[in-house]
């Protein structure tokens, strides 16, 4: 199993630019989570999906952030326009709701730097 | 609301020392408890978990026991290695809430010196 795949691994962009982060969950998993990690705020849940449907986006910082899951094997997190305070590591995680569904499997993360 | 509290880091130990990282939780329901580990430059990996009171999770020499009476899930290892240097996160998933969300503690950085 390839695990959760995220791309790109590193992204450097300038303030005001659009940034798109991508995630491929583990095949068969029905939950997908997006997190942000910073030194100041630690690990924050931004949004999660169940069967491709967004369930809770209360952690999304503001309207500049949006997330989609067009199918079971792909999700995107978009920031438009980006700001320096968005610099962080963004993680995607997936889980399977049957048989101990609480265990989440994390991707390697996308390290975003907004200049 | 649900929450997880971990001891502040960093924790610095010499190789072969005994490790304890404290974790306590608050939950309205009956949670499952987890320890995740994050090595430098990587994502979080599940280290161990326990789903009911008195269960002991164990993996790679690490252990943690679900203590409902003290609402704790302390992580222990009898003899740490340099390769154990990482950040450790305690987390809970409240099964009264069927969302499978994880509530994480702030993380504890462990540094093991040769």
Q: Which of B6-10, B32-36, B92-96 has the lowest mean pLDDT?
A: B92-96
The beta-carbon neighbor of A101 closest among B34, B36, B100 is B100
- pLDDT category at B48 given cuts 50, 70, 90 is very high
Indicate yes or no: CB of B106 within 8 angstroms of CB of A42: yes
CA–CA separation, B9 vs B108, rounded Å?
A: 5
CA neighbor of A77 nearest in space, from A115, A41, A107: A107
Length of chain A as a residue count: 115
- Looking at beta carbons, which residues of chain B come within 8 Å of A95? 100
**How many Cβ atoms sit within 10 Å of the Cβ of residue B98?**
10
Average pLDDT value for residue range B84-89: 97
Say what the pLDDT of residue B45 is.
Answer: 94
- pLDDT category at A1 given cuts 50, 70, 90 is low
CA neighbor of A45 nearest in space, from A18, A28, A25, A65: A65
The beta-carbon neighbor of B43 closest among A55, A91, A101 is A91
In order, the DSSP letters of B39-108 are: -TTS-EEEEEEE-STT-EEEETTEEEE-BTTTTB--EEESS--GGG-EEEEEEEEETTSTT---EE---E
Say what the pLDDT of residue B98 is.
Answer: 61
Judge whether A69 and A49 are in contact, CB under 8 Å: yes
């Amino acid at each position: 199993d390839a695990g959760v795949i995220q791309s790109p691994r590193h992204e450097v962009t300038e303030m005001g630019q659009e940034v798109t982060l991508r995630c491929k969950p583990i095949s068969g998993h029905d939950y997908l989570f997006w997190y942000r990690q910073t030194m100041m705020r630690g690990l924050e849940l931004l949004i999660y999906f169940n069967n491709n449907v967004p369930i809770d986006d209360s952690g999304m910082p503001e309207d500049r952030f949006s997330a989609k899951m067009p199918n079971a094997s792909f999700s995107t997190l978009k920031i438009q326009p980006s700001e320096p305070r968005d610099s962080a590591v963004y993680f995607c995680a997936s889980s399977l709701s049957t048989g101990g569904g609480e265990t989440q499997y994390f991707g390697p993360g996308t390290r975003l730097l907004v200049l | 609301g649900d929450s997880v509290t971990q001891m502040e880091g960093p924790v610095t130990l010499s190789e072969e020392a005994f490790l304890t990282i404290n974790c306590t939780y608050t939950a309205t329901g009956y949670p499952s408890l987890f320890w995740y580990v994050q090595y430098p430059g990587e994502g979080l990996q599940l280290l161990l978990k326990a789903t009911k009171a008195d269960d002991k999770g164990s993996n790679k020499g690490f252990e943690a026991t679900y203590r409902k009476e003290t609402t704790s899930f302390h992580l222990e290892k009898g003899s740490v290695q340099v390769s154990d240097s990482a950040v450790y996160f305690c987390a809970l998933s409240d099964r009264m809430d069927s969302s499978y969300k994880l509530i994480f503690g702030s993380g504890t950085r462990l540094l093991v010196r040769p």
